[in-house]
Structure 1
Amino acid sequence: MTLPPLPEKDHHCESCGLRYGDLTPSAALRSALEYACHVRDVYDVYETRVRRALTEHEPTLEPMRNDEGAAQRAYNQQPLAAVLLDLERNADRFAALASEISEPQWSRCAVRLPRERRCVLWMVRQAAHEGLHHLHDIGAGPTDRAVLFDVDGVLVDSYPAYRRIWSRWADHRNLDPDLVWSHTHGRRAVDTIQVVAPHLDAAAEYRLIRELMTHEDGNFPVYPDAAAVLGLLKDRRWGVVTSGRTATVLHRLRAGGLPDPPVLVDSSQVRRGKPDPEGYLRAAQLLNVAASDCLVIEDAPAGVAAARTAGMTVIAVRTTHRDDELADAHHRADTLSDAIPLITDWLDRTHP
């Protein structure tokens, strides 16, 4: 999984308004104490990081991997009283540590990723920001609606190229191309391989699929009406949930003149692909929008099922599948252009 870059040393968070440059060491410490109850684990981790930076020469730090930790430790099932007590203790320990740091020590550094050095002062500021930002999120809550798009068959006309790729792979492995193709729609490639060829090494076959894909580079145009639809959402929350990979998706969207999605959930960010709802639920979480306040544009039955299971409203476009195959969608339209009245009507409603 590709790790996100850390904020810059003079970071300004547009969401909560905090500027790192405005935080002196003492101000950062006060913020840590004020907001520590919302960031228990952040202060625990940053205490360890600061101590390592103070005692080791530019130690390499392990990423926090917030989402994995939340799932593994079942955050939503922990006793509130115990959590609050731990938060207070962590804040006190972090504050005590910060108060003992001498002037020369503020510039000592640690490394998380190559060429990503951060000093002790930045670490204290970052910990303060975590508290302030989470308080902002709690106060804001989910206050808007969002539109989520599948990519292949919705924004990008990729099916002719993918049909050729999967047919070549099926012929190479002596499989029925039509059967293989029927299991590809809306699914991750590894999931398709595991279904149609469980006797093969899915990871190795996926590498072969990627190799075959290089011969189709340039054959993935965006739909002519995609730009107009996304233009309607320039002041709205939106994102994409795809079975593809981020780099590939962004390359194709940019090649077609489309903007980068504010949120992009790809196959590497979920444990289970469509028809599991995990990807759509993650996108809603990242956009800070309730699942019931999300509208999904899909083209495949697996995607429709994923969005419906997530509790979202679904518009299916008939770009790749017959109407009867998309019967579970709330609405159906022939193209993205035809879906525009449905999208604008849904966005303008006061209630679901």
Structure 2
Amino acid sequence: MAQHPFPDRRFGAFLFDMDGTILNSIVAAERVWGAWARRQGIDVDSFLPTIHGMRAIETMRRVGIPEAVLEAEIAGLVQAEIDDVEGIVEIAGAAIFLKSLPPERWTIVTSAPRALAEKRLAIAGLPVPPLMVTGEDVANGKPAPDCFLLGARKLGVPIEECLVFEDAPAGIRAGEAAGATVLVIDATHSHRLDTPHPSVSGYDALAVSQASDGTLEIIAKG
């Protein structure tokens, strides 16, 4: 039997990161970012591990892209990511799990721009929630808590009653800073992540029970 990640705990809403959490886009993302890094003269091997879970604007500023060309660089990179979707797939069981949730009790909180998020979700066969939070919706990207706080507000649920599903260190820190409970999805991890939070490798072993008050409990399937 799978281990129950949160025994005797119910949540008002679920907030899902996208890349690495409900879909696997690592191959496509690293293909595009790797090509960009080579054009900039950046060491690709050391750079690629730093891109996950963060917005392009924070990543590019961190490596010193001048503000005068930042907007154009971001636009070009995002378009390249929209054009390159080969290899994008759902994390095991994600589609069934998401479709089992009441629509008013979950959303996606991603660092990706909306156009890219919608393209990747469509390719992976995953639903687009009506209240999705994307990178354009906040002034400060992950690891700042802004995106998860906004997601909770959109759903009308206190952040302390939300469960954040994340895979990347920046997103985990954002969930912690927001005051949410965090569940780590480690399906795309090649090395064990040092985290105090419960981890699961996918959604096949999970189900959800909804109480009469609308709150949600994760159930570990046997």
Is 1:275 the equivalent of 2:130?
no
More strand by share: 2
Residue identity opposite 1:282 in structure 2: L
CA drift at 1:236: 5.4
Structure 2 Cα separation of the partners of residues 181 and 286 of structure 1: 32
In structure 2, which of residues 148, 165, 182 is the aligned counterpart of residue 314 of structure 1?
182
Name 1:217's counterpart in structure 2: 85
Structure 1 Cα separation of the partners of residues 103 and 23 of structure 2: 22
| CA contact 1:299–1:318 (8 Å) conserved in 2 | yes
More helix by share: 1
In structure 2, which of residues 178, 202, 216 is the aligned counterpart of residue 335 of structure 1?
202
Residue 211 to residue 269, structure 1, CA distance change in 2 (3 Å): closer
The gaps in structure 1 that reach 5 residues or longer are: 1-143
Secondary structure of 1:265 counterpart? coil
In structure 1, which of residues 290, 312, 328 is the aligned counterpart of residue 158 of structure 2?
290
| CA contact 1:326–1:332 (8 Å) conserved in 2 | no
Name 1:305's counterpart in structure 2: 173
The gaps in structure 2 that reach 5 residues or longer are: 1-10
| CA contact 2:91–2:202 (8 Å) conserved in 1 | no
Residue identity opposite 1:316 in structure 2: V
Structure 2 Cα separation of the partners of residues 267 and 225 of structure 1: 25
Residue identity opposite 2:85 in structure 1: D
Structure 2 Cα separation of the partners of residues 325 and 256 of structure 1: 25
Equivalent residue pairs, number: 203
Structure 2 Cα separation of the partners of residues 344 and 178 of structure 1: 43
Name 2:7's counterpart in structure 1: none
Residue 214 to residue 282, structure 1, CA distance change in 2 (3 Å): closer
| CA contact 2:24–2:188 (8 Å) conserved in 1 | no
Structure 2 Cα separation of the partners of residues 212 and 259 of structure 1: 23
Give the fraction of aligned pairs with identical amino acids, expressed as a percent. Answer: 33
Greater RCO structure (CA 8 Å; 6+ sep): 2
Name 2:73's counterpart in structure 1: 205
Name 2:8's counterpart in structure 1: none
Name 2:16's counterpart in structure 1: 149
Residue 170 to residue 145, structure 1, CA distance change in 2 (3 Å): same
In structure 2, which of residues 73, 78, 98 is the aligned counterpart of residue 230 of structure 1?
98
Taking the TM superposition and a 5 Å limit, the aligned residue runs for 1:237-276 are 237-276=105-144
| CA contact 1:300–1:326 (8 Å) conserved in 2 | no
Structure 2 Cα separation of the partners of residues 303 and 243 of structure 1: 9
- What RMSD, in angstroms, separates the aligned Cα atoms of the two structures? 2.4
Name 1:347's counterpart in structure 2: 216
Structure 2 Cα separation of the partners of residues 312 and 275 of structure 1: 13
In structure 1, which of residues 170, 188, 198 is the aligned counterpart of residue 55 of structure 2?
188
Structure 2 Cα separation of the partners of residues 183 and 240 of structure 1: 22
Residue identity opposite 1:347 in structure 2: L
